[in-house]
Chains A and B, each alone.
Chain A
Amino acid sequence: MDSFDKKISNLYDADQLSEQLPEGFGWEEMNGGIYEKMEKPKKKRKVFFWLFFIGSNLGLLAALLFFFSVKSKKPAGPVATTRTATVEKLEKLNPIISDQTPIEKIIVPTEKTLSNNKKNISTFKNKNTPTAISMVIPAKATNSTKTLAFLPVTKAVITSTKKAAAPVIVFSKDIFKEQLDPDETLGNAQNNKVEFAKNLTPHIYGGTLFTSGKYTQNQLRNQHSKWLPGYYTGLEFTVLAYKNWQLNMGYEHKFAIQLFDFQNITDTIANGVAEVLTSITTNSLNGSVSEIREEIATQAVRTRNYLNYNTFRSHALRMTILRNFELSEKLSLSAGFGGSYNFLNRTQGRTIGQDKNKLDYGQENQIYRKHNFGLEGGLSLAYQIGAFSLRGNFWIEKSLEYSMEPTENIRPVFYKIGLGITRSF
């Protein structure tokens, strides 16, 4: 502290005890508000954060639920080939299979249901079924047909073929074929379900980033502001799929530059208050003079002659929903929408001109918010080449809140035009 600081500090210290409360600040007027604020928990108006947070968690939960439900029902071995082979084997056992009374529905239970099935054995329709069957293939009659698709059929068949010589097998050939139809069990049935993607199909993309967005309050600056093309790049994965719909999640990086080009720009700004003598009155009787002084705002003229540029970098987590349209065998179009959470936004201001680095923007003095949310939508055109598909992408992202503190706000719109490549498994 220098002497000037001490002088001011002393002025305030000496005066602080003589401060008077203005009207309306008494205990009677204030206590209601104080107690109200003590009781009421603060509302955090981070609506978008919580929407994103809840949405992400629901998505993750749904993904996990589907993942575990599919995993628990999945056959242990190579299902399709084994089943075909099994049917063929059973066909070879024609004398055993063919002359039996059909059973409408058969399900081979898992180990968990073995004990329960013992009491259901009696419900077999075939009256010739010997009691020994419970030791051979524990089974029960059921109306369900879909469950079979996920059961360890290989194990069941091995058991049945082992005991094939015994005249106890009661399976109907037709019924059995129906049950083991690979199309139904592996193909169409699964296509109609929302599934956690077995392989997280990666999509690497990037391209040119065009940006627009102006300050809402500083029109003069807007006249001299422009964005230069930047770039964006990202990696995303398909985590959920339902028919032609996909849920993708990933990471994206953006880079852009905003320019302020001031070439001999002159304007005036308010820079203080001055006390000015506005009139003098002389009393004609006693000759006294009275002065009237008024406070007026003073203005300063400034001339700006420099070029300033701000680099903008952001990292974002994205979540998008895509709808795929097959245009031809190899060509498809995807339309999508989604949201992003931009974090670690970084600004670095540089000034070129007679006064270098006069703009005090930097890591600790951000021109933009450090994080924000965005909404986006776009189109992708994909061309399939083997396991890869080349994509042309066009997406638009609207920032929900960007701030140039303290009062000037900017909400840029990002136009992303680029290419991507997706690997299918």
Chain B
Amino acid sequence: MVEERIISLCRKGKQEGQRQLYQACAPYVYATIKRYIWQTEDIKDTMQEAFANVFKHIKTFDATKGTFNSWIRKIAVNQALMLIRKNKQFSHLVPLDEVKTNTLGSEDKYENLSKADIEKILESVPDGYRIVFTMYVIDGYDHKEIAKLLNIKAETSRSQLARAKKWIYLHLFNNEKSKAYGLF
């Protein structure tokens, strides 16, 4: 949690407050952005943009509407999505026909899953699915919010999420002979 004192210093535009805020929140912001962007330089640039926005708009932060962490996370996600849109990384995806995939693992269910396992799988998930999946499951956006941020319909968000999950299930447990999904 970020101390109210630090937020107050930032509201006054004090550089010392900004430094403390950065040190308190940077790991969290970094982890958030890294879920959407993988290139180090892009992460750095996005982090700088995100913190520039945080410092500029910190006067608009209202503690009664949510925690500071959720506010700063929304800024970080928005900034990451802007870069993705700019680089046109958002995919339109379609299922593949008759895919034969290598076996990755056993039928162990997800009780033993680690974050590293998930991240490894997410690296292979096409961008469009991954972004919706990350926003919904990890960052806690609902479909309406996702639809608004990605300029798509809520139904599209739901279908993208379903496909993302199918992809992840298939690659985590690979016990289906059903279709995989991929870039057209």
Contact = CB atoms under 8 A, between A and B. Distances in A.
A405 interface: yes
A21 B118 contact: no
A365 B96 contact: no
Interface string A34-53: 11111000000000000000
B100 A38 contact: no
A406 B115 CA distance: 27
Interface residues of B, number: 64
B94 A360 contact: yes
B92 A405 contact: yes
A300 interface: yes
Contacts of A145: none
Most-contacted residue by chain B among A271, A274, A303 (CB, 10 A)? A271
Interface residues of A, number: 52
Interface string B6-27: 0000000000001100110011
24 contacts: A4-B110, A4-B165, A8-B113, A8-B118, A8-B138, A17-B28, A19-B28, A21-B30, A25-B26, A30-B44, A31-B22, A33-B48, A34-B52, A36-B48, A271-B180, A272-B101, A272-B104, A272-B124, A274-B102, A298-B104, A302-B98, A360-B156, A403-B88, A407-B88
Contact of A37 (B49, B92, B171): B49
Given A4-B110, A302-B96, A19 B52 contact: no
Contacts of B118: 8, 11
Contacts of A274: 102, 104
Nearest to A301: B100
Interface of B: 18-19, 22-23, 26-28, 30-31, 40, 44-45, 47-49, 51-52, 55-56, 87-102, 104, 110-111, 113-115, 118, 120-121, 123-124, 127-128, 136-138, 140, 151-153, 156, 159, 165, 169, 171, 180, 182-184
A267 to B, nearest CB: 10
A291 interface: no
B48 A7 contact: no
Interface of A: 1, 4-5, 7-9, 11-12, 15-17, 19-22, 24-25, 27, 30-31, 33-38, 269-274, 298, 300-305, 354-355, 358-361, 364-365, 367, 403, 405-407
A30 B92 contact: no
B180 A9 contact: no
Contacts of A15: 31, 115
B99 A271 contact: yes
Contacts of B151: 364
A7 B113 contact: yes
B50 to A, nearest CB: 9
B92 A367 contact: yes
Contacts of A269: 96, 182-183
Given A20-B27, A24-B44, A273-B120, A301 B99 contact: yes
* Interface pairs A-B: 6 shortest CB-CB: A37-B52, A33-B48, A19-B27, A272-B124, A19-B31, A302-B96
A276 to B, nearest CB: 9
A21 B182 CA distance: 33
Contact of A359 (B31, B182, B184): B184
A300 B48 contact: no
A300 B100 contact: yes
Contacts of B153: 364
Contact of B95 (A9, A25, A355): A355
Contacts of A21: 26-27, 30
A168 to B, nearest CB: 79
Contacts of B171: 271-272
A279 B92 CA distance: 39
A302 B90 contact: no
A305 B97 contact: yes
Contacts of A30: 22, 26, 44, 47-48, 51
Given A8-B118, A272-B171, A365-B156, A407 B97 contact: no
A302 B30 CA distance: 37
Contact of A12 (B19, B88, B138): B138
A4 B111 CA distance: 9
Contacts of B48: 30, 33-34, 36-37
B94 to A, nearest CB: 5
A19 B29 CA distance: 10
Given A5-B136, A273-B123, A303-B98, 14 more contacts: A8-B113, A9-B137, A19-B30, A21-B26, A30-B48, A34-B55, A302-B96, A305-B97, A355-B95, A358-B95, A359-B94, A359-B184, A406-B91, A406-B92
